[in-house]
Amino acid sequence: MKYNSVLLLLAFLLTNCASIFTGLEDEIKFTSSPDNAAVYINGELVNTTPCNVTVRRKGEKIAMMKLEGYNDEVFELTKKFNVVTLLNLFGPPITGFGIDIITGAIKVQDPTFYNINLSQTNNNTSNNQESIKKKSIISQVVETRAETKLAEAEAKKTRAETARILADAEKARAEAALAEAEKAKKDASSEAVPEDQPQYRGGDPLKGLNVGNATENLVIGKYYALLIGIDNYQGEWAPLKNAVNDAKAIETLLHSKYRFDQFNTLYDSKATRTAIIKQLEWLVEIVQEDDNVFIYYSGHGEFKEKLNKGYWVPFDASSKSVAEYVSNNDIQAFLQGIKSKHTLLVSDACFSGDIFRGTTISVPFESSEKYYRKVHNLASRKAITSGGIEPVMDGGKEGHSVFAYYLIKSLSNNNETYFDASQLYNNLKIPVVNNSDQTPKFNPIKNTGDEGGQFVFIRK
Supply the DSSP string of 27-40, one letter for each residue. EEEEEEESS--EEE
Residue 293's nearest CA partner among 223, 229, 377 is 223
Rounded CA Rg of the chain: 27
Domain segments of the chain as ranges: 2-160, 218-458
pLDDT score at 200: 37
How many other CB atoms sit within 10 Å of the CB of residue 38? 17
The identity of residue 366, as a single letter, is E
Residue 380 near residue 339 (C-beta atoms within 8 A):
no
Q: Which of 38-52, 84-98, 381-395 is most confident?
A: 38-52
Alpha-carbon distance values, 321 to 86, 243, 311, 355, 386 (Å): 64, 22, 11, 19, 24
Please check whether residue 260 is in contact with residue 294, taking contact to mean a CB–CB distance below 8 angstroms.
yes
Averaged pLDDT, 440-457: 89
pTM: 0.52
- What pLDDT does 366 receive? 54
Is the separation of the CB atoms in 205 and 325 below 8 Å? Answer: no
- In a 10 Å sphere around its CB, with 0-12 CB exposed, 13-18 middle and 19+ buried, how is residue 314 labelled? buried
**What pLDDT score was predicted for residue 78?**
92
Q: How many CA atoms lie within 13 A of 351 on its CB side?
A: 14
Q: What is the DSSP letter of 68?
A: T
Report the alpha-carbon angle 242-385-396, nearest 5: 30
Per-residue DSSP letters for 360-406? ---PPP-SSHHHHHHHHHS-EEEEEES-SSS---S-EETTEEHHHHH
The pLDDT, as a whole number, for residue 59 is: 83
Burial (0-12, 13-18, 19+ Cβ within 10 Å), 150 = exposed
DSSP string computed for 206-249: TTT--GGGGGTT-----EEEEEEE-----TTS---SSHHHHHHH
Cα→Cα distances 241→293, 313, 393, Å? 27, 15, 11
User: What pLDDT is recorded for position 310?
Assistant: 87
Rounded to 10°, the helix 402-413/243-257 angle is 10
Sign of CA pseudo-dihedral 93, 94, 95, 97: positive
Q: pLDDT > 70: what percent of the chain?
A: 74
Q: What is the mean pLDDT of the chain?
A: 80
Mean pLDDT of 159-179: 78
Q: Of 147-156, 264-273, 306-315, 395-404, which gets the smallest average pLDDT?
A: 147-156
Please count the other Cβ atoms lying within 10 Å of the Cβ belonging to residue 287.
20
- Looking at per-residue pLDDT, the higher value among 149 and 244 belongs to 244
Mean pLDDT of 264-270: 97
Burial category of 221 from C-beta neighbours within 10 Å (exposed 0-12, middle 13-18, buried 19 and up): middle
pLDDT of 67-82, one tens digit each?
Answer: 999 999 999 999 898 8
Q: Is the pLDDT of residue 251 over 50?
A: yes
- 218-458 has CATH 3.40.50.1460 classification: yes
336 in Cβ contact with 387 (< 8 Å): no
**Residue 95: strand, helix, or coil:** helix
Task: Tell me 261's DSSP state.
Answer: S
pLDDT for position 142 = 59
Cβ pair 74, 106 in contact under 8 A: no
How much is the pLDDT for 219?
Answer: 78
